[in-house]
């Protein structure tokens, strides 16, 4: 079953004759449990694609279908709720809340949805990501790799079915990247998540089940497994 | 008078409350009923109610998740069937070549008209063919047992030094034959979560590969480095190398690299190695400059302190 699907997805910025075609007719299908890497140079439209998949931005034309639901027609409020329950995000710059400690950051999205925290599950994630001793630290006391691991834990804590990662290792040195990447892959396998990861780094992309290449807003070669 | 009025108002309020509450409960139950009907009918279009910020919407959301899990289970079973089918067809294809060679040389030998040198040549080709078949059979058995989960890897905390040195001894002979030196940078032994037997097998596969694609008189470097979550075991050879667009493919079953043409192999070794690492929560990465070097980095989880 395709958990994520786009149909001739388009995103244009600006007005004629100066339109920028960030996405120009993207048809994509991602299966449940698949780990897909989207590779492309900067300005190729890969981040725009990820934002569309996660309901962070609305398309100019075309459809985004998540779990059989067309999200391109949802209102902002519906989208917010949709994201909170279905999608986990990991960004290049971590986006942690600086005044909350590690644990509070991780459980924040659960509490935002008005749910009680599944303590056992969250502890399990914290343990897996090697953050057990850092629970009460503030983000600015952590290294880049540790901060990204907190962001991964936060993304996993709500048990989302889809994990979207935008250059998750973009700010990390190559060794730390390998470490964080391994963790991302291991957890997504363990919690049966579909993962879409954006990167410009071939070394990072090789762990994916499938690599999709995007150039000038179009997919130009998809290598199957 | 006033008391009667208060009592009357109270009675009215109570009955109104009861009435509204009944309606509320009925409505909630009706909605739950609708959701469950949807689940029974496998209708994934329960969408409207799932996107609101209410109790019922959360419930609907969970119902949908349960349904999706079922759908996923079914599609996984179908997928596994397809994998097995493609596996069988790949496998029979791979076996055909050495098998037909063996059959042909046996026929020629049976016909009998040949010189002694030719006879020796044919016999040695048959031997190579059967060896290849034997090796493939072994790998296939291991692979299928790993894939269907017939063997469970049991990663335990164990010193990695012993595992690595076992693997090095396993390829030492093949390396020495072509005068390739294996150099291990000094490292402190450390306890890593791994299944010694299978991990040894995987590291041996990576080392065998390095030996196979190294030039004679070359060298292979082995190093170990601890990261926060994982420990990295790297094997570097200075052979043909692998182009970046193939990095994702080389770990796939039966995939042979473009630079691997003309070198014996079945496209199983790396696949098996990466499967073994994955089964114990690790992974393998490759980095290479064609014509310069290739580094395979194997990652195993550190033990929790």
Element at A186 (helix H, strand E): helix A174-190
Q: Taking CA atoms, what residue in A is nearest to B68?
A: A67
**How crowded is the C-beta side of A129, counted as CA atoms within 13 Å?**
31
> Mean per-residue pLDDT for A6-35?
86
Best interface-test mutation with B: which of A202, A208, A223 has the largest number of B CBs within 10 A?
A: A202
pLDDT at B221 over 80: yes
pLDDT band per the 50, 70, 90 thresholds, residue A224: very low
Q: What pLDDT was estimated at residue A223?
A: 47
Q: Mutate which of B44, B270, B281, B305 to test chain A, going by most A C-beta atoms within 10 A?
A: B281
The residue-averaged pLDDT of A107-111 equals 88
**Share above pLDDT 70 across residues of chain A, in percent, rounded to a whole number:** 97
A112-136 tens-digit pLDDT? 877 788 888 888 888 888 888 888 9
DSSP state of A74: -
Reading the block at residue B174, the tokens are 């093949």
The domain that holds A195 is classified in CATH as: 3.40.50.300
Q: Which domain holds residue A102?
A: 2-223
pLDDT above 90 covers a percentage of chain A that reads 12
CA A11, CA A52: separation in Å to the nearest integer?
9
Those of residues 116-145 in A touching chain B at CB distance below 8 A are: 127, 129-130, 132, 145
The partner residues of A26 in beta bridges, in order of sequence, read A9
Residue A221 has a pLDDT of 61
As a whole number of angstroms, the distance between CA B53 and CA B247 comes to 45
- The answer, yes or no, to whether residue B297 has pLDDT greater than 90, is yes
Query: Which residue, chain included where needed, has tokens 């072509």?
Result: B178
Strand A194-199, strand A69-70: pairing: unpaired
Quote the pLDDT of residue A14.
Answer: 82
pLDDT score of A225: 39
Give the span between the Cα atoms of B302 and B227, in whole angstroms.
8
Split into its structural domains, chain A has a count of 1
Best of B41, B43, B47, B223 to substitute, by most chain A Cβ atoms within 10 angstroms, is B47
* Interface residue B61 vs chain A (CB under 8 A): yes
All residues of chain B having their beta carbon less than 8 Å from the beta carbon of residue A205 are: 247-248
CB-based contact B285 A207, cutoff 8 Å: yes
Residue of chain B whose Cα is closest to the Cα of A144: B228
pLDDT band with cut points at 50, 70 and 90 for residue B222: very high
Instruction: Print the SS3 string covering B160-199.
Output: HHHHHHHHHHHHHHHHHHCCCEEEECCCCCCEEEECHHHH
Contact B285 A208 (CB under 8 A): no
Range B191-220 average pLDDT: 90
CATH class, B156-301 region: alpha beta
Q: Return the top range by mean pLDDT from A36-40, B65-69, B253-257.
A: A36-40
Lowest mean pLDDT among A75-79, A82-86, B149-153, B286-290: B149-153
Quick check: B40 and B66 in contact, CB under 8 A?
no
Q: How far is A40 from A202, CA to CA, in rounded Å?
A: 10
Q: Which residues of A touch B50 (CB under 8 A)?
A: 85
Mean pLDDT score of chain B, rounded to an integer? 84
CA dihedral over A148, A152, A157, A163, signed as positive or negative? positive
Q: What are the residue ranges spanned by the domains of chain B?
A: 2-72, 156-301
- Are residues B248 and A208, on separate chains, in Cβ contact within 8 Å? yes
| pLDDT tens readout for residues B155-167 | 888 889 999 999 9
Mean predicted confidence (pLDDT) in B39-47? 66
pLDDT digits (tens, 9 = 90+) for A191-204: 888 999 998 887 88
pLDDT in tens, B234-245: 999 998 888 888
Contact A169, A176 (CB under 8 A): yes
User: Is A68's CB within 8 Å of B45's CB?
Assistant: yes
Q: How far is CA B117 from CA A134, B127, B161, in A?
A: 73, 15, 47
Q: How confident is the model at residue B129 (pLDDT cuts 50, 70, 90)?
A: confident
Mean pLDDT, to the nearest integer, of B244-254?
82
Please tell me which residue, B31 or B218, carries the higher pLDDT value.
B218
- The yes-or-no verdict on residue B49 having pLDDT over 60 is no
For the ranges A159-168, B193-202, B262-271, which has the lowest average pLDDT?
Answer: B262-271
Chain A contact for B42 (CB, 8 A cutoff):
no
* Beta carbons of B247 and A206 less than 8 Å apart: yes
pLDDT class of B45 with cuts at 50, 70, 90: low
- Cβ pairs A/B, distance under 8 A: 92
The rounded distance, in Å, linking the Cα atoms of A165 and A91 is: 6
The mean pLDDT of B24-36, rounded to a whole number, is: 82
Across the interface, whether the CB atoms of B68 and A223 are under 8 A apart is answered no
Residue B214 pLDDT greater than 60, yes or no: yes
Dihedral (CA of B173, B175, B177, B180) sign = negative
The tens digit of pLDDT for each residue in B252-290 reads 877 777 777 666 666 788 888 988 998 888 899 999 988
Please, are residues B204 and B242 in contact by the beta-carbon 8 Å criterion?
no
pLDDT band at B52 (very low <50, low <70, confident <90, very high): low
Query: In the predicted model, what is the mean pLDDT of residues A156-174?
Result: 87
The verdict on B134 touching A (C-beta cutoff 8 Å) is no
């Amino acid at each position: 079953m395709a958990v994520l699907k786009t149909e001739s997805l388009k995103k244009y910025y600006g007005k004629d004759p100066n339109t920028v075609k960030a996405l120009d007719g993207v048809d994509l299908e991602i299966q449940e449990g698949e780990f897909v890497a989207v590779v492309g140079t900067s300005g190729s439209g890969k981040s725009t694609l990820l934002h569309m998949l996660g309901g962070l931005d609305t398309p100019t034309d075309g459809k985004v279908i998540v779990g059989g639901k067309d999200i391109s027609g949802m209102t902002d409020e519906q989208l917010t709720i949709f994201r909170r329950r279905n999608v986990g995000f990991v960004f290049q710059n971590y986006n942690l809340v600086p005044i909350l400690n590690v644990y509070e950051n991780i459980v924040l999205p659960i509490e935002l949805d008005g749910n009680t925290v599944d303590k056992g599950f969250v502890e399990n994630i914290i343990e897996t990501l090697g953050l057990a001793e850092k629970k009460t630290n503030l983000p600015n006391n952590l290294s880049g790799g540790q901060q990204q691991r907190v962001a991964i834990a936060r993304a996993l804590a709500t048990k989302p079915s889809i994990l979207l990662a935008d250059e998750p290792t973009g700010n990390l040195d190559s060794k730390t990247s390998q470490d964080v990447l391994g963790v991302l892959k291991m957890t997504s396998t363990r919690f049966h998540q579909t993962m879409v990861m954006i990167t410009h780094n071939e070394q990072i992309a090789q762990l994916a089940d499938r690599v999709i290449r995007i150039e000038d807003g179009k997919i130009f070669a998809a290598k199957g497994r | 008078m006033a008391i009667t009025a208060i009592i009357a108002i109270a009675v009215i309020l109570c009955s109104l409350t009861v009435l509204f509450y009944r309606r509320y409960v009925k409505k909630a139950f009706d909605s739950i009923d609708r959701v469950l009907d949807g689940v029974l009918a496998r209708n994934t279009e329960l969408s409207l109610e799932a996107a609101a910020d209410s109790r019922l919407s959360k419930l609907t959301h969970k119902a949908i998740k349960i349904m999706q899990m079922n759908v996923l289970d079914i599609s996984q079973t179908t997928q596994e069937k397809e994998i097995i089918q493609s596996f069988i067809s790949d496998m029979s294809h791979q076996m055909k070549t050495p098998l037909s060679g063996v059959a042909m040389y046996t026929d020629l030998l049976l016909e009998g008209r040949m010189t002694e040198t030719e006879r020796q040549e044919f016999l040695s080709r048959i031997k190579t063919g059967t060896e290849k078949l034997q090796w493939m059979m072994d790998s296939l058995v291991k692979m299928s047992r790993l894939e269907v989960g017939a063997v469970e890897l049991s990663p335990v905390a164990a010193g990695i030094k012993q595992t690595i040195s076992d693997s090095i001894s396993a390829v030492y002979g093949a390396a020495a034959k072509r005068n390739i030196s294996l150099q291990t940078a000094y490292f402190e032994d450390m306890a890593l979560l791994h299944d010694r037997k299978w991990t040894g097998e995987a590291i041996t596969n990576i080392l065998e590969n390095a030996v196979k694609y190294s030039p004679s008189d070359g060298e292979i470097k082995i190093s170990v480095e601890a990261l926060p979550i994982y420990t990295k075991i790297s094997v570097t050879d200075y052979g043909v190398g692998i182009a970046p667009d193939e990095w994702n493919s080389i770990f796939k079953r039966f995939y042979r690299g473009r630079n691997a043409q003309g070198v014996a192999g079945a496209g199983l070794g790396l696949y098996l190695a990466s499967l073994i690492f994955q089964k114990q929560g690790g992974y393998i990465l490759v980095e290479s400059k064609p014509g310069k070097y290739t580094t395979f980095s194997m990652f195993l989880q550190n033990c929790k302190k």
